[in-house]
Structure 1
């Protein structure tokens, strides 16, 4: 193959890749739509007189959804020019002129949003879908499949109905051992969500990679290295043997884990204790050890589950166990979420994990 033929082939492949770009296809279709609507709005013949200049708002708003910030800026200018072209071809009333002024204001707002998206590094629908995927990963905290005879479920409910939460769940199963950590990052909603996203990845890498006794100290050192202004978090960590049911619970400034004994039907608070993560180095995290028998269950949760305005911690825990007794976590998915939704409304993020042995 000659050098000219090779260069032509490279150019051809580059053009094909270019036209496969979804944003390029979107801007071409939107440009065509804008031109067609401009022609219709400018034509004052027959029924076309009913087509207003305001119809050009449609591609403007579609562009705000589909296009990245750089392309969107030029597209807004293009639409504004088309509005001027269409308006110059028709007889405008004072009301029409005012409406066109509103369209220019709308275009300025879209430009402002485009510049803000450029600053944030969020470009168009594809990047927004990426953010949605990241929030799904943060929200799910999926517990790995459990062996026969075991059940587990988890749920995270962000505050205010947002997609971001400062609470998260990370779990890993290493051979016959399950490790779960429930974390509450300082703050709530979007402000804490970005830190929670980073911590969930880091803590997920630690689970199963360090001995159970070393997990919280390692997590604490990681937080200290971040040097965040509001860089503290509380956590409760569970390590459980899926063969004999032996478990260890360690806490870092977190509400106590709860263990339900099938023999008595009573819930017990774990006695593990330790300081909040990210405040000081060289700290110890005491373990609370025990064993889950058939029908027993351990429940981990964040403070948003048990704390609310006018309700102290003890009353909140009492409400939680009462709700848990009436709404058993089935292990088929959804039980933990229904349990959280059955509690009184909270203005804080909420997370809950339940792990137990089937009867």
Structure 2
């Protein structure tokens, strides 16, 4: 259907939302006319189709008016019925109930300001762009970094996230693994915001300044559940020397290629977002040829019935068997084998070949 006649009458160019509204109103009018002309043949439930399309395509400004228009058309279809049976009453009642549900949904969407499909696509695009900050940059020959993330209940949103970068001014690699308070979709929105903020901080600050800056940022948010744990790795790609700083986070584990044993690197530092002017101690180490370093969240090692220390021992035991002689795909294998599906889980494996 062309919108040029409408544009000539109104004197201005109509928006895509207004164009969609016009098309849906025409479709609703055609279906209503069909019921009026053939009341015993045309189904009353046909108006559900434009109502559903409107809930998906129209914005919060146009949708309430369209719902009112559909309800008016429903009243005309009632008047066209020769006999009002209980079946017709039930069908019309369901139609009005659907109109009410869509109307309430439109009021909730007005807080976002965009329609259903557009709002969802914007949110998904935002999630993908921010989470792409956890993608591993090219570290050159001799290094392999793998990450795996699983959210509670299998949803695409999680309270655990990873941000990494390779600073331009030095041959190093920086990585932070974060666990936001809560899990699944409840923590997902805060994790998206924090991952964007942390992505701007990491690499732009000296390694020792990152966690204090992240702590100050969280304190400024003034959230009811505004805390998070984190572990920050700064790795020299030339020498293999690394620095670890932890903020209430489970310790990293290093595998020595010579002995085949795992060493746990404990560090001190408070949870982010709780204490002003917090200080975070540094743990130093070196990754030699064949060594590996594992960073993870508490969903990998902690359950309501198991102490975190026992969980770490179990994880390292699994790693000994699953990673022996083959680190490729090791992060995914460990995440799939450990932790609870009801908790967010994240793990990063850094291996020097």
Normalised to the residue count of structure 2, the TM-score between the two structures is: 0.88
- The 5-angstrom pairing of residues 76-225 of structure 1 reads 76-91=67-82, 92-140=84-132, 141-175=134-168, 176-225=171-220
Offset at residue 124 of structure 1 (A): 2.4
1:84-129, Cα deviation, whole Å (9 max, x unpaired)? 2233223332211221011101111111111111135453211211
Name the structure 1 match of 2:248.
Answer: 253
Name the structure 1 match of 2:348.
Answer: 353
1:158-193, Cα deviation, whole Å (9 max, x unpaired)? 222333322111111114211001111222233322
Paired residues of 1:135 and 1:163 also in contact (CA < 8 A) = no
Name the structure 2 match of 1:339.
Answer: 334
Computed over aligned residues only, the root mean square deviation of the Cα atoms, in angstroms, reads: 2.4
Name the structure 1 match of 2:20.
Answer: 26
Offset at residue 227 of structure 1 (A): 2.6
Where structure 2 has 5 or more consecutive residues not aligned to the other structure, the ranges are 1-6
1:311-355, Cα deviation, whole Å (9 max, x unpaired)? 2112211232233344449787x6534431222424222221111
More helix by share: 1
Q: 2:61 is paired with a residue of what secondary structure?
A: helix
CA distance in structure 1 between the partners assigned to 2:181 and 2:341 by the alignment: 16
Q: 1:181 is paired with a residue of what secondary structure?
A: strand
Name the structure 2 match of 1:3.
Answer: none
Q: How many pairs are equivalent?
A: 340
CA distance in structure 2 between the partners assigned to 1:324 and 1:58 by the alignment: 54
- For 1:277, which of 269, 272, 277 is the aligned residue? 272
Runs (4 or more) in structure 1 with deviation over 6 Å come to: 329-332
CA distance in structure 1 between the partners assigned to 2:95 and 2:345 by the alignment: 42
Normalised to the residue count of structure 1, the TM-score between the two structures is: 0.87
Name the structure 1 match of 2:237.
Answer: 242
Paired residues of 1:139 and 1:168 also in contact (CA < 8 A) = yes
Q: 2:340 is paired with a residue of what secondary structure?
A: coil
Name the structure 1 match of 2:296.
Answer: 301
Name the structure 2 match of 1:67.
Answer: 58
Q: Between 292-301 and 25-34, report the one with greater CA deviation.
A: 25-34
Taking a change above 3 Å as real, the CA distance of residues 301 and 122 of structure 1, as seen in their structure-2 partners, is farther
Offset at residue 228 of structure 1 (A): 2.5
Offset at residue 243 of structure 1 (A): 1.6
